[in-house]
């Protein structure tokens, strides 16, 4: 969010305002400068840095592709690395434990 409230003549659309503070969203250029200055990141790194977390949370590949703007599933697959727990869950579906009496 920007530090200043927009003046009435330059008021952005309601979707671009924070519902709690009324402040406008950062523009692309301002966000790029702030990320580079204070974190040494670019917007591409920020967007793609969140994708592995989506993969860990078992988010469907189509949603990860939508968020990262990948068109090819093979490109987005690098973010989907199932952990041991997810693999065990799938194994349980394929081969449920046998009951012991």
Sequence spans of domains, the chain: 1-41, 43-101
Number of Cβ within 10 Å of residue 61's Cβ equals 15
| pLDDT over threshold 60, residue 39 | yes
Question: In the structure, how many helices (H) and strands (E) does the chain have?
Answer: 5, 0
Judged against a pLDDT cut of 70, whether residue 1 lies above it is answered with no
| Tens digits of residue pLDDT in 20-32 | 888 888 888 888 8
What's the pLDDT tens digit per position in 46-72? 877 888 888 888 889 999 999 888 999
């Amino acid at each position: 969010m920007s530090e200043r409230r927009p003046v009435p003549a330059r008021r952005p659309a309601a979707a671009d305002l924070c519902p709690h503070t009324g402040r406008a969203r950062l523009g692309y250029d301002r966000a790029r400068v702030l990320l580079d200055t204070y974190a040494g990141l670019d917007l591409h790194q920020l967007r793609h840095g969140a994708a592995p977390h989506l993969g860990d949370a078992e988010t469907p590949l189509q949603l990860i592709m939508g968020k990262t703007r990948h068109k090819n599933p093979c490109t987005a697959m690098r973010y989907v690395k199932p952990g041991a727990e997810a693999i065990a869950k799938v194994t349980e579906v394929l081969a449920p434990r046998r009951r012991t009496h």
